[in-house]
Chain A
Amino acid sequence: MSGAGAATADVIIIGGGIHGCSSALHCRLRGLDVVLIEKDHVGRHASGVNAGGVRQLARDIAEIPLSVHSMDIWHRIEELVDDDCGFTNEGQVLVAETQAELALLKKRMRDLRAKGFTHEELIDAAELHRLVPAVAESCPGGVVSRRDGAAIPFRATQAFRRKAEALGAVIRDGERVMEIRREGTSWAVFTDRAKYVAPKVINAAGAWADRIAAMLGEPVPLEVIAPMLMITGRMPAFIKPVVILRGRKLSFKQFDNGTVLIGGGHRGVPLRDENITVLDWAKLAVSARTVADVFPIMRTAHILRAWAGIEARMPDEIPVFGASGTSEGVYHQFGFSAHGFQLGPGAGSVMSELVATGHTNMPIHALRIERFRENAVARSSEDME
Chain B
Amino acid sequence: MFRRLPEATGAPIPFTFDGREMVGRRGDTVAAALLAAGISVCRTMAVSGAPRGPYCMMGVCFDCLVTIDGAANRQGCLVLLVEGMRIKTQAGAPQAQAEEGAT
Task: Identify the A interface with B (CB < 8 A).
Answer: 233-236, 238, 257-258, 297-298, 300-302
Chain B interface mostly: loop
Decide: B93 and A301 in contact? CB cutoff 8 A. Answer: no
Binding stretch for chain A, among B16-24, B76-84, B95-103? B95-103
A238 CA to B98 CA, complexed, in Å: 16
Name the one of A238, A298, A300 contacting B72, with C-beta atoms under 8 angstroms.
A300
Given A258-B46, A301-B96, 6 more pairs with CB closer than 8 A: A233-B73, A234-B93, A235-B93, A298-B96, A300-B71, A300-B96
A301 CA to B72 CA, complexed, in Å: 9
Decide: A236 and B73 in contact? CB cutoff 8 A. Answer: no
A300 CA to B97 CA, complexed, in Å: 7
**A231 to nearest B CB, angstroms?**
14
**B48 to nearest A CB, angstroms?**
13
Decide: B96 and A235 in contact? CB cutoff 8 A. Answer: yes
A357 CA to B93 CA, complexed, in Å: 53
Contacting residues, chain A, for B94 (C-beta < 8 A): 233-235, 300
Decide: B96 and A297 in contact? CB cutoff 8 A. Answer: yes
Can you list 29 A-B contacts with CB-CB less than 8 angstroms, sorted by A residue number?
A: A233-B73, A233-B93, A233-B94, A234-B46, A234-B92, A234-B93, A234-B94, A235-B93, A235-B94, A235-B96, A236-B93, A236-B95, A236-B96, A238-B96, A257-B46, A258-B46, A258-B93, A297-B96, A297-B97, A298-B96, A300-B71, A300-B72, A300-B73, A300-B94, A300-B96, A300-B97, A300-B98, A301-B96, A302-B73
Contacting residues, chain B, for A298 (C-beta < 8 A): 96
**A356 to nearest B CB, angstroms?**
47
A257 CA to B92 CA, complexed, in Å: 11
Give B60-95 as 1s and 0s: 1 = Cβ < 8 Å from A's Cβ atoms. Answer: 000000000001110000000000000000001111
A233 CA to B93 CA, complexed, in Å: 8
Closest to A260 in B: B96
Contacting residues, chain B, for A233 (C-beta < 8 A): 73, 93-94
Contacting residues, chain A, for B97 (C-beta < 8 A): 297, 300
A238 CA to B96 CA, complexed, in Å: 10
A167 CA to B94 CA, complexed, in Å: 45
A297 CA to B93 CA, complexed, in Å: 14
A21 CA to B92 CA, complexed, in Å: 39
Give B37-70 as 1s and 0s: 1 = Cβ < 8 Å from A's Cβ atoms. Answer: 0000000001000000000000000000000000
A236 CA to B98 CA, complexed, in Å: 13
Scoring A235, A300, A302 by chain B CB atoms within 10 A of each residue's CB, the highest score goes to: A300
Closest 9 CB pairs of A and B: A234-B93, A234-B46, A297-B96, A258-B93, A302-B73, A235-B96, A236-B93, A236-B96, A235-B93
Contacting residues, chain A, for B46 (C-beta < 8 A): 234, 257-258
A219 CA to B96 CA, complexed, in Å: 50
A367 CA to B98 CA, complexed, in Å: 50
A332 CA to B97 CA, complexed, in Å: 49
Closest to A258 in B: B93
A234 CA to B49 CA, complexed, in Å: 13
**B40 to nearest A CB, angstroms?**
23
Contacting residues, chain B, for A302 (C-beta < 8 A): 73
**B101 to nearest A CB, angstroms?**
13
Contacting residues, chain A, for B96 (C-beta < 8 A): 235-236, 238, 297-298, 300-301
Contacting residues, chain A, for B95 (C-beta < 8 A): 236
A234 CA to B93 CA, complexed, in Å: 5
Closest to B102 in A: A300
A298 CA to B92 CA, complexed, in Å: 17
A238 CA to B97 CA, complexed, in Å: 12
**B44 to nearest A CB, angstroms?**
12
**A256 to nearest B CB, angstroms?**
12
A236 CA to B72 CA, complexed, in Å: 12
Closest to B92 in A: A234
**B41 to nearest A CB, angstroms?**
19
Closest to A233 in B: B73
Closest to B72 in A: A300
**B25 to nearest A CB, angstroms?**
29
Contacting residues, chain B, for A300 (C-beta < 8 A): 71-73, 94, 96-98
A302 CA to B97 CA, complexed, in Å: 12
A236 CA to B46 CA, complexed, in Å: 10
A300 CA to B1 CA, complexed, in Å: 33
**A26 to nearest B CB, angstroms?**
38
A258 CA to B46 CA, complexed, in Å: 9
A234 CA to B94 CA, complexed, in Å: 7
